[in-house]
Structure formats: C-alpha cells, structure tokens
Amino acid sequence: MLKIEHIGIAVTSLADAVPLFEKLLNSPCYKTEAVASEQVTTAFFRQGDTKVELLEATGPNSVIARFIERKGAGMHHIAFEVSNIEEEMQRLAAEGFTLLQDKPKPGADNKLVCFLHPKDTSGVLVELCQEVK
C-alpha cells in the first residue's frame, strides 16, 4: 500500500456538509461527482497528500443510506492507494481477508476500487483504490 488516499465520511446532505468542511479544513471542495452505480454523490477536499471524501446517498437502497440508517452520519471508510489493485486483492485474500468484490469496480475520482469486509479489519471498512491510467 502506498499511502492513505482518502477518508470517506457519510453525510445526510452535501448542501449542509460541504460548507461545514470548507470552513473546517480551510479548503474549498474541488470536485463533486455522482456515482450512479453506487447511488451516491461525492464531494472531495484535499489535505496535503490525503483527501477527504463526503458521501451522500442518492437513493434509499444505497450503501450510504443503509449505513446512515444503522449508524448515523460519520466516518464510513479509509482508502489506501495501491499500485496494482488486482495483485493487492490476491495478496490480501491469501492473507485471509474477505474481499467484498471479486474484481475491482469503477469508483469516484477516476479510481478502481475494492472493499475489505470490516469483520476482518477491526470493524473498519477498508477500500483499496488504484488510479485508472
């Protein structure tokens, strides 16, 4: 793993959360993006080499809507940048981690992503991400 790529935070409203995080981080939101396949809209902030990603559900059956229903708004996942996501997925599966996808899928911010089940990572949802070149 190369670095922490971003920290994902589930929010109920980007309209409310973006201005709050712009003040908190003293940095503008540089990008918003809808990810229709996940029923989510994202907003990104840069903090040095790391990003903060806000996630708002766009449908009642989205992962983010279900997360907020169960746990409330808050930290959703931590994402680690990898140079070769398929190799890292194979390595982690061999180490006994449960992958939530069999193959990488398209994610926000021009990334391929795969998630690890939180039961294997001390309750933290871990995302692997690789920039699409």
Where does the pLDDT of residue 1 fall: very low under 50, low under 70, confident under 90, or very high at 90 and above? confident
pTM equals 0.94
Over range 55-81, report the average pLDDT: 97
Mean pLDDT of the chain: 96
- What are the tens digits of pLDDT across the range 85-105? 999 999 999 999 999 999 999
The answer to whether the CB of 54 falls within 8 A of the CB of 42 is yes
Cβ-count burial 68-105 (b if 16+ within 10 Å, e if not):
beeeebeebbbbbbbeebeebbeebeeeeeebeeeebe
DSSP code of 26?
Answer: T
Q: What is the pLDDT of residue 133?
A: 87
